[in-house]
Amino acid sequence: MITVSLEHELTTPSTTPITLCGFSISNYYNKVKLSLLEKNIPFAEALVFTSQSEEMLAESPMGKVPFLRTPRGVLTESQVLTEFIEDSWPEPALYPRDSFERAKCRELIEHIELHLELPARRLYAEAFFGGSVSEETKKEVAILLEKGLKSLARLARFAPFIGGDSFTHADCAAWVHLPLVSQCTRKIYGRDFLEDALPQAKAYLKMVGERPHAQKVNADRKAGMEAFMSRSKK
Ligand SMILES: N[C@@H](CCC(=O)N[C@@H](CS)C(=O)NCC(=O)O)C(=O)O
């Protein structure tokens, strides 16, 4: 595990209460980072790559990122981090106050992660990392993605945000995950499944991407890409 501390500009080292661990090309890392930035929560970032070393597993039992170091211990699973962040710093709220609308928001996040990001992830090796994926997997994933996208078309509101009229954690999730569905389907199947199923998504993603905090996440992602690629070649 490689750990490098990157103090976030909002923080000072001595008062930093939480540290987001992972790397800036991870969509799950960026989901949480965008939520933290949008809520103006002071945090530090530590560059940690996925690994199965004892040192890593002691903090992140699956060896995955992101994880969050807090004064009371470590938390894993990005959605758990999101919920912890919202519970610990309720203002500004990134979930609706109404319990049903709040649940609808979480439904969108679950939906995007379970039915879109997870199947799409099975293509990443070939789409992004120079590996290969079997024809069988490609067929299976295509069916899952078509179904997931049809279903998202029923759930997403784009009015103008994915859950309605305010920016929420669901936008943080949609903005990091949905572009990967576009990119990997274009690469693997030669057409953009997202564009075909949800033509409104493109303008929506552009709108979210214009938010200053999204731009910061994107700039860090681009800077991190080169470091990650040179590390994976070694
Ligand atoms: N369910 C996890 C997924 C996180 C995840 O898959 N992270 C990727 C990086 S984007 C990872 O750590 N992959 C390494 C692995 O699966 O061992 C979460 O929401 O935090």
Say if residue 115 is in the same domain as residue 186: yes
Higher pLDDT, 223 or 229: 223
CB of 28 closer than 6 angstroms to any ligand 1 atom? yes
Sign of dihedral through CA atoms 170, 172, 177, 183? positive
pLDDT at 16: 63
Mean pLDDT, residues 151-165: 98
Beta strands in 33-125 (DSSP E): 44-47, 67-70, 73-76
Residues 65 and 105 placed together within one structural domain of the fold = no
Which of the listed residues 58, 88, 118 is the one where a domain comes to its end? Answer: 88
Confirm whether 93 is domain-assigned: no
**CATH (domain of 56):** 3.40.30.10
Considering the domain architecture, whether residues 37 and 66 belong to the same structural domain is answered as yes
Work out the mean pLDDT of the chain and round it to a whole number. 93
How confident is residue 1, by pLDDT bands cut at 50, 70 and 90?
very low
- 17 vs 110, which has greater pLDDT? 110
Residue 17 confidence class, pLDDT cut points 50, 70, 90: confident
Please tell me whether residues 160 and 229 are part of one structural domain: yes
224 and 112 fall within a common domain: yes
11 and 103 within one domain: no
Same domain, 70 and 141: no
Please give the average per-residue pLDDT across 27-56, as a whole number.
Answer: 97
**Same domain for 178 and 146:** yes
Q: Is the CB of 27 under 6 A from ligand 1?
A: yes
Ligand 1 atom with the shortest distance to the CA of 81: 20
Residues 47-68: tens digit of each pLDDT: 999 999 999 999 999 999 999 9
Residue 197: alpha-carbon gap to chain centroid: 21
Question: What pLDDT, on a 0 to 100 scale, did the predictor assign at position 232?
Answer: 65
Residue whose CA lies nearest to ligand 1 atom number 15:
64
Q: Give a yes or no: residue 206 inside a domain.
A: yes
Domain boundary among 88, 109, 131: 88
Judge if the beta carbon of residue 82 lies within 6 A of ligand 1. Answer: no
Q: For the domain that residue 187 is a member of, what is the CATH number?
A: 1.20.1050.10
**What element of type H or E holds 21?**
strand 19-22
* 94 belongs to a structural domain: no
| Ligand 1, pocket-test mutation among 2, 25, 28, 128, most atoms within 8 A of CB | 28
65 lines ligand 1 (CB under 6 A): yes
Query: In terms of residue numbers, what domain contains 134?
Result: 99-233
Q: Is the dihedral of CA 84, 108, 78, 213 positive or negative?
A: negative
Residues 76 and 127 in one domain: no
Whole-number Å distance, alpha carbon 59 to ligand 1 midpoint, is 14
Whether 50 and 112 map to the same domain: the answer is: no
For the Cβ of 64 lying below 6 angstroms from any atom of ligand 1, the answer is yes
User: Rounded to whole angstroms, how far apart are CA atoms 93 and 189?
Assistant: 39
pLDDT band at residue 227, thresholds of 50, 70 and 90? confident
Given a cut of 70, whether residue 6 has pLDDT beyond it is: no
User: Are 227 and 125 found together in one domain?
Assistant: yes
- Choose between 233 and 152: higher pLDDT: 152
Q: Which residue has the tokens 């998504």?
A: 201
| Number of other residues whose CB lies within 10 A of the CB of residue 120 | 26
pLDDT tens digits along 72-93: 999 999 999 999 999 999 999 9
DSSP 147-215: HHHHHHHHH---SSBTTBSS--HHHHHHHHHHHHHHHHHHHHHSS-HHHHH-TTHHHHHHHHHTSHHHH
Residue 225's pLDDT is: 87
The pTM assigned to this predicted structure is 0.93
**Domain boundary at 88, 109, 140, which?**
88
For residues 39 and 94, the answer to whether their CB atoms sit within 8 Å is: yes
Give CB contacts under 8 A, 24+ apart, made by 127-136: 127/183, 127/184, 127/187, 127/188, 128/183, 128/184, 128/187, 129/232, 133/188
Phi-psi region of 201 (alpha: psi -120 to 50; beta: other; left: phi over 0): alpha
- 43 Cβ partners below 8 Å, 6+ apart? 8, 10, 11, 16, 17, 18, 19, 20, 36
Least confident piece of the model among 7-21, 29-43, 114-128, 171-185: 7-21
Task: Give distance in angstroms: CA of 104 to centre of ligand 1.
Answer: 24
Q: Per residue in 181-221, pLDDT tens? A: 999 999 999 999 999 999 999 999 999 999 999 999 999 99
The total domain count for the chain is 2
Ligand 1 atom closest to the CA of 121, numbered from 1 = 6
CB of 125 within 6 A of ligand 1: the answer is no
In whole angstroms, what separates CA 159 from the centre of its chain? 21
Residues 223 and 187 both lie in one domain? yes
Q: Are 209 and 34 in contact (CB under 8 A)?
A: no
Whether 19 maps to a domain, the answer reads: yes
